[in-house]
Amino acid sequence: MSKRSIYFILIPTLIVAACSSTKYVPEGDYLYTGASVKIEDKNIKKRESKALSGELEGVLRPRPNSRFLGIPFKLWIYNSFGNPKKEKGLGNKIRNKFGQPPVLFSSVKVDYNRDLVQNRLENRGYFRAEVTADSSVKKKTASLTYTAIPGPQYMINSVRFATDSSSLGKALVRTSRRSFLKVGESYDLDVIKSERTRIDNRLKEKGFYYFSPDHILIQVDSSNNQQKVDLVVNVKESMPEKAKQVFNIENIYIYPNYNLADDSLSVDYGKPYKDFIVVDSTNLFKPQVFERTMFFHKGDIYNRTDHNMSLNRLVNLGTFKFVKNKFVETADSEDNKLDTYYYLSPYPKKSLRAELLGRNTSANFNGTEINISWRNRNAFRGAELLTINAYAGTDIQVSGVNQGNNLLRFGAEANLNIPKLISPFKFNASSAFIPRTKIMLGYDFLNRRESYALNSFRTSFGYVWKEDVKREHQLNIFAVNYVQPANVTPAYSALATPGSTFAKAIEKQFIIGPNYNFLYTNTVETRKKNTFYENFNIDLSGNILGLAMGANYKDGDTVQFLGARFSQYVKIENDFRHYFNLGYGSQIASRLITGYGLAYGNSSSLPFIKQFFIGGTNSLRAFRARSLGPGTTNPVVDRNAIAPDRTGDIKLEFNTEYRPKFNNILRGALFIDAGNIWLLNEDPQNPQPGATFSKEFLSELAVGTGVGLRFDLSFFVLRTDLAFPIRKPWLPKGERWVFNDIDFSRDWRKENLVFNLAIGYPF
């Protein structure tokens, strides 16, 4: 499609959208197109003035009709579909679901908005601010401009914490060291509110259970005529007497089998265990479970940290559906003591779940899969989670390379998740998240009907723990994966020459060693402009065995363990993502993946299942999965031949996409993907020119681009992407960019256009 064609389509669209935007604006009224705030003060720097204008514009109401690329699409849908005189019909459903009625100028309260702007300026320390409003009418549209003259901004001259000899007075003064109120900074009401909350949090840590931010009084004195204020932090004289007192924890009652519908269980049924009284007449849980979750002990001074961490640990056990807590003063009110009650309603102990899935992959496989999962949330009365999963599925390749090479897969996996660290050493975890021991045992069977079958046995023992809600660590101190080939067809055997990719795919593999994963994410903090995701993995195999047995593949000296040659390697992979939130649900998401694998000692290369690959629905979407690389290797093969999976020892991948939000369900995507894989060393038995990593790696990157739609249905996201390559690394130098070949003809589409259908976002 030429640029001229695009212009012929785009320009009329813009004209039609603009003309139809006032279609349902009543006579005598106008379409409200928004308001701006103009700052007139030479003493305010340009950057600060721009930021202040944006802040003030954010308080104005109502907001005008939303726009994308300058076009009010929702308003255009409202005006183009349905009939306002009728209530039913498909057009009206589209209009009401995806459209937005015009925001009328008559609905704008000018004086109210002017007062909002002036009030916000005063809250920011501009006590002499003046605000005026002016309207601008053009045909059937109207806008507003608010002109603000802030005047001098008042600064903080001094901060004093008032004190007395009481426990509360002394505790209040001790909070001043980390005060948000700083001499020389501007007066800001939001900072003052934050300071009251900060003081309350600190006092809660010191046992003042009944204290609240409302008991704090911050007096402001601006009478010095120097555009400065003096602040005095004190407590109100009218505050309740209990708010001035420190409270201690007395009895701790735990109801681990609490029924919301039946509140008749008495503490008389409770059994003491150390500092707790466990009211569990059915002995559903071992009392040791609560020793690992409770931070409070009898006699402790109440503090907010132990309060929240105890609740968080109970919730993160994953065993209780509802967790409720309350504090009650003891019978003798003069003791300043609190009894604490924990009401825990468990999930059903056992559950069974079945799923039937259908999928389509970028390698033109269509298939189905059934998953059955059995779960026991309290397997051995210690809040252990025992999960047994079984699956079976098949994939049929309906088009593309190597049609008819169908897949059959089935397997099972058992996981035991224990809410403590099983170790000869004692660990004291201070996190709100309970550290866990994980034991896994699994088996998988893969049958490529035209090629081979693989049996895979897996087991691991390790730990999972969190520093906080953002940081998680997983360490498997023992992990084993044994892969054994079976039913290799004669056609595949003929291709599996020593050292070839075909041969590596059916090698008997024995992987034994530790692995570690670190995960950091703050992507749940949706109010932040920038959020990040970091996933680091290091995988080791055969290190101790190799040292003990002295294996050296280069000298022809390889050894076996339990009848199989074990793999010896180091593999490192890092996945870093950045999300730039544009507001109104739209964002720019980017990802950088780097990977490096080094085989040594008993191995000449990474095991096939541990090598890197690239392409597919969650990678370079313009290229089929596992069909790209290594390096400048030509991916074109005989359509009727058995195609090898293309793998490498080094990986570099970069993705970025713009994700506009059209409405609550529909989101778009405009993306570009780049990357490749390479071999670390050339295999003399199977040389592949251009496959090894070199200083020219940047010139060997594949690049693809495309567009997509995401349908967010709350319980899952359905994703469709349409992509095509714009750089092909296997072409000669100087010819790898293929912009000039793009013509969207039938032959070009058949060769280059890739449709991806998937569940969830690619990253």
CA–CA gap between residue 139 and residue 142 (Å, rounded): 8
Distance separating alpha carbons of residues 195 and 181, to the nearest angstrom: 7
Distance CA(370)–CA(41), nearest Å, equals 68
Q: In the chain, how many domains are there? A: 3
Which 3 state secondary structure label does DSSP give 511? strand
Task: At 758, give phi and psi (nearest 5°).
Answer: -150, 170
- Residue 757 in this model has a pLDDT that exceeds 90: no
Which pLDDT value is given to residue 247? 96
61 and 188: one domain?
A: no
CB-based contacts of 138, cutoff 8 Å, min separation 6: none
Same domain, 255 and 273: yes
DSSP annotation of 492 reads H
Whether residues 168 and 110 fall in one domain: no
The closest alpha carbon to 710, from 654, 754, 655, 662, belongs to: 662
Tokens of 617: 């629905």
Pairing, β 650-659 against β 666-678: antiparallel
When pLDDT is cut at 50, 70 and 90, the band that residue 476 belongs to is very high
Least confident of 9-18, 229-238, 617-626: 9-18
pLDDT > 60? residue 398: no
Q: What is the mean pLDDT of residues 484-490?
A: 89
Highest mean pLDDT: which range of 10-19, 27-36, 560-569 = 27-36
- Predicted local confidence at residue 548, as pLDDT: 72
- Residue 35: which H helix or E strand, with range? strand 31-39
Closest CA to 590 of 517, 523, 677: 523
Question: What CA–CA distance (Å, rounded) separates 704 from 672?
Answer: 6
Per-residue tokens: 399: 């088009």
Whether 535 contacts 519, CB under 8 Å: yes
Tally of CB atoms within 10 A around 634: 12
Which residue bears the tokens 């601010």?
Answer: 129
Q: How far is CA 62 from the centre of its chain?
A: 32
**Same structural domain, 169 and 291:** no
Per-residue pLDDT tens digits for 250-281: 999 999 999 877 766 667 778 899 889 999 88
Which pLDDT belongs to residue 493?
85
Q: Are residues 286 and 173 in the same domain?
A: no
260: in domain: yes
pLDDT value for 15:
46
Which residue would you say has higher pLDDT here, 685 or 361?
A: 685
Segment 462-476 shows an average pLDDT of 92
Per the listing, tokens 């290091």 go with 538
Q: Does residue 123 register a pLDDT over 50?
A: yes
Domain with residue 189: its CATH number is: 3.10.20.310
Q: Are residues 69 and 52 in the same domain?
A: yes
For 720, the enclosing helix (H) or strand (E) is strand 717-727
Q: At what angle do helices 3-20 and 73-80 cross, to 10 degrees?
A: 70
Q: Which pLDDT value is given to residue 630?
A: 92
Q: Are residues 207 and 287 in the same domain?
A: no
Residue in 732, 497, 703, 743 with CA at minimum distance from that of residue 634: 732
Contact 576, 519 (CB under 8 A): no
* Helix axes of 46-57 and 110-123: crossing angle, nearest 10 degrees: 130
Give the pLDDT of residue 85: 72
Residues in CB range of 375: below 8 A, 6 or more apart: 350, 351, 352, 353, 385, 386, 387, 388
Stretch 92-105: mean pLDDT? 87
DSSP assignment of 400-437, as one string?
STTTT--EEEEEEEEEEEESS--SSS-----SSS--EE
Rg, C-alpha atoms of the chain: 33
Q: Which domain holds residue 292?
A: 248-346
Torsion sign, CA atoms 242, 245, 246, 250: negative
Give the residue from 194, 228, 244 where a domain finishes: 244
Q: Are residues 107 and 187 in the same domain?
A: no
Phi, psi of 46 (to 5 degrees): -60, -45
- 113 and 182 fall within a common domain: no
Regarding whether 198 and 179 lie in a shared domain, the answer is: yes
Q: How far is Cα 572 from Cα 515, in angstroms, rounded to an integer?
A: 10
Amino acid 4: pLDDT: 44
Rounded to two decimals, the pTM is 0.78
pLDDT of residue 530 exceeding 90: yes
**Kind and range of the H or E element at 352?**
strand 350-360
Instruction: Please give the DSSP secondary-structure letter assigned to residue 153.
Output: P
The Cα–Cα gap between 632 and 623 comes to 14
Q: Which residue matches tokens 């900074």?
A: 185
Q: What are the tokens at 239?
A: 């505050």
Nearest partner of 143 among 66, 35, 39, judged by Cα: 35
Determine the pLDDT at residue 125: 93
Is 492 part of a structural domain of the chain?
no
pLDDT of residue 14: 45
Q: State how far the alpha carbon of 298 is from the alpha carbons of 199, 209, 295, 303, 682, in Å.
A: 26, 16, 10, 13, 67
Q: What is the Cα–Cα distance from 153 to 162, expressed in whole angstroms?
A: 26
Report the share of the chain in percent with pLDDT over 70: 91
What does DSSP say about strands 320-329 and 337-346: parallel, antiparallel, or unpaired? antiparallel
Q: What is the largest CA-CA distance in the chain?
A: 96
- pLDDT of res. 385: 96
For position 642, what pLDDT does the model report? 64
Q: Which residue has the higher pLDDT, 104 or 603?
A: 104
Between the ranges 50-59, 649-658, 744-753, where is the mean pLDDT highest?
649-658
Residues 135, 164, single domain; the answer is no
pLDDT, residue 401, reads 47
- pLDDT band at residue 130 under the 50/70/90 scheme: very high
In this prediction, residues 563-581 reach a mean pLDDT of: 91
> Residue 42: inside a domain, yes or no?
yes
Weakest-pLDDT range from 238-242, 259-263, 344-348: 259-263
Is residue 705 situated within a structural domain?
no
Query: Cα separations (Å) of 181 from 128, 163, 211, 310, 512?
Result: 22, 17, 21, 32, 57
CB 143 within 8 A of CB 32: yes
Q: Which residues contact 517 (CB under 8 A, 6 or more apart)?
A: 473, 474, 475, 535, 536, 537
In a domain, 646, yes or no: no
Cis peptide before 101 (omega within 30 of 0): no
Residues 309, 326 within the same domain: yes
- Contact predicate 129/111, CB 8 Å: no
Task: Give the DSSP H or E segment for 251.
Answer: strand 248-255
Other CB atoms within a 10 A radius of the CB of residue 531 amount to: 19
**Average pLDDT of the chain, as a whole number:** 87
Query: Tokens 């993502």 sit at which residue?
Result: 577
Q: Which of 244, 279, 307 is where one domain is finished?
A: 244
Final residue of a structural domain among 149, 169, 191: 149
The answer as to whether 309 is a domain residue is yes
Structure tokens that stand for 56 in this block: 């003030």
pLDDT for the residue numbered 429: 67
What is the Cα–Cα distance from 132 to 54, expressed in whole angstroms? 17
In contact, 602 and 542? CB cutoff 8 Å: yes
Does any domain span residue 103? yes
Question: Rounded to 5, what percent of the chain is helix, strand, coil?
Answer: 20, 40, 40
Mapping DSSP to helix (H, G, I), strand (E, B) and coil, where does residue 168 land?
helix
- pLDDT score, position 500: 75
As a whole number of angstroms, the distance between CA 417 and CA 683 comes to: 43
Is the predicted pLDDT of residue 134 greater than 60, yes or no?
A: yes
- φ, ψ of residue 3 to 5 degrees: the values are -65, -35
Average pLDDT over residues 730-752: 90
Query: What does DSSP assign to residue 487?
Result: -
Could you tell me if residue 83 is inside a domain? yes
DSSP 140: T
| C-beta of residue 703 within 8 angstroms of C-beta of residue 729 | no
pLDDT recorded at residue 404: 44
Looking at the predicted structure, is the pLDDT value of residue 334 above 90? no
Q: Considering only 21-25, 184-188, 407-411, 725-729, which range has the smallest mean pLDDT?
A: 21-25
The SS3 assignment for 501 reads helix
Strands (E), 89-227: 130-138, 141-149, 155-161, 216-221
C-alpha 308/C-alpha 468 separation (Å) is 13
Per the rule left: phi > 0, alpha: psi between -120 and 50, beta: everything else, 260 is alpha
Quote the CA–CA distance of 184 and 732 in Å, as a whole number. Answer: 64
Confidence at 555, pLDDT banded by 50, 70, 90: low
